Chain A
Amino acid sequence: MRPPGCSLSLRPQLLIIFYSDIASMAAIEILGLEKTYHVGFWRKKPKCALKPLHLEVEDGEIFGFLGPNGAGKTTTLKMLMGLVFPTGGSARILGMEINDPRMKAQIGFLPEQPYFYDYLTARELLNYYGQLSGIHTDRRKISEILERVGLPKDGDVQLRKFSKGMLQRAGIAQAILHDPKVVFLDEPMSGLDPMGRREVRDLTEQLKREGKTVFFSTHILSDAEALCDRVAIIHQGTLQGVGAVADLTASVQGKVEIVWQGNTVPASIRGLGADCHVTGDTVRAVIAEVKQDAALEALRRERLRLIALVPVRTSLEEYFMHKVQDAEQAAAVRV
C-alpha cells in the first residue's frame, strides 16, 4: 500500500525510512498544552486549569493518567478531543492535529460518567455512532460489540432503563465500535461493581493485545498499577511524574523490613523510628532504608540474630501521595 501523500516515484529506501518513522512515532504527543479559564461575571480572573503539559504516549501501550479530582485530567482529555480549546501549546494524535477529522475516525472516547440519548436502544445508539464514524454497522457487528462489553441481551432495551454500570458498558461499546487505533477512557471503572471493573480491565488488556493504544484517566490507583505500562501523575494542573510504575515507585525513598530472633526491641532501634511488631520469638521492624545500616549495627551490638532484611515495595498509592503532598507543600511555600 502506498503511504498517503507519497508519489510512486519514491525510491524503496525512502519508503522504508518513511515507514520506520511512522512505526516509531508516538501515538499521542502533547506539546506544552495549557488551559486557563477566566472566571467571574464582572471582573474576570484567570484560573489555570492546566499548566504547560508535555507528554508522549507510545504506540500500543496502556497509559494511565492519574490525579485527584480537579487535577486537570478531564481538561486534558477534552482538549485532546477538541471539546475545549487550549490556551497554548498543541497536541498530535497518530501524527495528526487534534481537530483533524481523519484522526477522529481513528480514535474512541469514553467520557466520564457518560450519559447517552436515553430514548434510543443500545443497538440504535451504536448504529448512530457507527454512522457518525463513517462505518457500516450491521446487526451482527453490533451484537458482537454488545457481547464484548457484557450486554448481549440488552441491545433492544432503551437506555433510559439502563443502570449506571450498564451505561458505562454501553459507553465503552461506542468507544471501541469503529475499531479505533487509540482509545481514550475517562474514569472507565467509575460506577462499576468489582465484576464490572474486572471485565473492563480484561477488555483494556485485550485492546492492548490487539495493538491499540489505551489512554485512561483514573483516580483508582490499584487499577492503574495492575494495568498500565506507564503512568503520569498530575496535580493542580501540573505534571508531577511520568514513567513505568516500577520506576516511579523505586524513586520514592524506600523502607526495609528487618527480622531478627528475640522478643525485645533495643532502645537504639526504637530511637531510629522503627515500626516494630513482636510475634513469638521473632521481631519485625519496618524502618527507612537510609537508617538500615544503623539498625544492623544496633543488632550486632545487642548480639541479636538477624533472620531477614527485605526491601518493602512502595505502592503506586504511596508514590502518588508523596507527589501530591510535595506539590501541596510547594504551593503552600509559594503562598
Chain B
Amino acid sequence: MNMRVAHIARNTFREAVRDRVLYNLIAFALLMSGAAILVGQISIDIERLVVVNLGLTAVSLFGMVIAIFIGIGLVSKEIDKRTLYTVLSRPVRRWEFIAGKFFGLAGTLVVNTLFMAAGVFAALLYVSRHFQHSDGWIMVALYFIVLQFLIITALALLFSSFSSPLLAAVFAFSLFVIGSFAEDLRGFAAMTQGVTKWLASGAAYLVPNFSALNIISMVAHEQGVSRQLIFYNTAYALIYTTMALSGAVLIFERRNLK
C-alpha cells in the first residue's frame, strides 16, 4: 500500500480507538451478547439459535452504527476543523486522503468485529458447552458482515465528501435500511410493469444489496454456505465499495475547501 495512505489509515484507526463513543458502542454490543445468553437460557432447546441470531445481529447493527457514525465525519470533520489543510498542503494527493480514511475505518471495524465475534463465540460456548462443526459458518456470516461494513463505510465517505454530517447520516442510514430489503425490492420490481418496473428495478439494483449479505438466519439454523455465494458476495461488495469510493474521490478532487 502507498505509504501515505497507510499513515492516514493508521491515524484514522488511532482516532477511532481513542474515541470514547466507540467504547460505549462496544460495551453495548457486549451487553447484547450477554442478553443473548440470558434469552438463550429461557429458550428451551433453541439456545444456540437464539445466541447466534442475537449475537450476530448485535455485531452487524453496532458495526453499522459505528461505520455510519464515524464514516460521515471522516471528511467533513477534517474540513470543519481545518485539520485537512495541513495534510493537503503536504505531498498528499486527495485520493490518497480518501483511501487512507477508508482503510483506517475499515481496519477499525474489522478489529471491532473480531472483539465482538469473540463475545458471540464466548456466549455460544457458554450455552452449548462445546463448539460444533457448523459453528464454522458463523465465521462466514461474520465475513459477510464485514463486507457490509466496507460498503456502508464507502457510502458514508461518499456522502461525507459533499454534504453535511447530518445529511450524510440520513443518506447512509436510509440506504442501509433500503438495502436490507433489497431482495424484497427486486421481488416487487419483478411484479410490476411499465415505468414502475423500470423505476423499481433501477432502485433495486442501485441500492446496496445488504439482504444478500445477511446470512445470519441461515447459519443460526446450521445451514452451510456455498463457495459460489461467498465468491459472488465478495465480488459484489468489492465492486460496490470501489464504485462508491471512486465517486467520493471524484467529488472530493473537485471540491473547494473554503
Contacts and interface: CB of A to CB of B under 8 A. Distances in A.
Interface of A: 37, 78, 81-85, 101-102, 104-105, 107, 109-111, 113-117, 119-120, 128-129, 131-134, 171, 174-175, 184
A311 to B, nearest CB: 44
Given A117-B11, A119-B14, A104 B82 contact: no
User: Which among A83, A110, A120 has the greatest number of chain B C-beta atoms within 10 A?
Assistant: A83
A180 to B, nearest CB: 10
Contact of B85 (A105, A109, A132): A109
Given A114-B82, A114-B86, A128-B7, A83 B91 contact: no
The 8 closest A-B pairs by CB, nearest first: A101-B91, A109-B89, A119-B18, A83-B257, A81-B89, A131-B7, A104-B91, A111-B85
Interface in B1-47: 3-4, 7-8, 11, 14-15, 18-19
A55 B164 CA distance: 36
Contacts of B18: 119
A111 B86 contact: yes
A111 B91 contact: no
24 contacts: A37-B256, A78-B257, A81-B89, A82-B88, A82-B89, A83-B88, A84-B256, A84-B258, A101-B91, A104-B90, A104-B91, A107-B89, A109-B85, A109-B86, A111-B86, A113-B82, A116-B83, A128-B7, A128-B11, A129-B90, A132-B90, A133-B90, A171-B86, A175-B86
User: Which among A81, A105, A171 has the greatest number of chain B C-beta atoms within 10 A?
Assistant: A81
Contacts of A134: 3-4, 91
A105 B91 contact: yes
B81 interface: yes
A109 B93 CA distance: 16
Contacts of B8: 132
B199 interface: no
Interface in B59-94: 81-93
Contacts, number: 80
Contact of B257 (A84, A113, A131): A84
Nearest to A115: B81
A331 B37 CA distance: 75
Interface residues of B, number: 26
Interface string B84-121: 11111111110000000000000000000000000000
Nearest to B17: A119
Contacts of B3: 131, 134
Contacts of A111: 82, 85-86
Contacts of B93: 101
A104 B87 CA distance: 10
A117 B83 contact: yes
A184 B85 CA distance: 12
A84 B92 CA distance: 15
A278 B81 CA distance: 57
Contacts of A83: 84-85, 88-89, 256-257
B256 A132 contact: no
A81 B85 contact: yes
B90 A105 contact: yes
B74 to A, nearest CB: 13
Contacts of A114: 82, 85-86
A96 to B, nearest CB: 11
Contacts of B256: 37, 83-85
Contacts of B7: 128, 131-132
Contacts of B19: 119
A120 B19 CA distance: 11
Contacts of A175: 86
A105 B90 CA distance: 6
B81 A104 contact: no
A33 to B, nearest CB: 14
A102 B91 contact: yes
A109 B19 CA distance: 28
